[in-house]
Amino acid sequence: NQSAWEGLQRLAKDTGAQVKYLQSKSDSEYIPNLTQMVKGNFNLTWGIGFIIGDAMKTVATQNPNAKLAIIDNVVNAPNVESVTFA
């Protein structure tokens, strides 16, 4: 999570993109936090880690026009880009 945040901060510095970070303190916050980001009119909402996969799928289904991405998991939804590493 720390390296993902550092990467987003670098993106903001290099491109002027607006970035925001929400940290979930429990599993029950995944869907509300992802939804808050989607409703915040960001161009892309990231989820970091395999554990957030089910919540990402739920939010993607509820918001078909949202653009989402997840690190370290595969979410089969047309509006989610899954980024995995060997």
**pLDDT per residue as tens, the chain (86 positions):** 788 889 889 999 999 988 888 999 999 999 999 999 999 988 999 999 999 999 999 999 999 999 999 999 999 999 999 999 88
pTM: 0.87
Q: Cβ distance 74 to 82 under 8 Å?
A: yes
The CATH number that domain 25-86 falls under is 3.40.50.2300
- Spatial CB neighbours of 52, under 8 Å, sequence gap ≥ 6: 24, 30, 34, 70, 73
Q: Cβ distance 9 to 19 under 8 Å?
A: yes
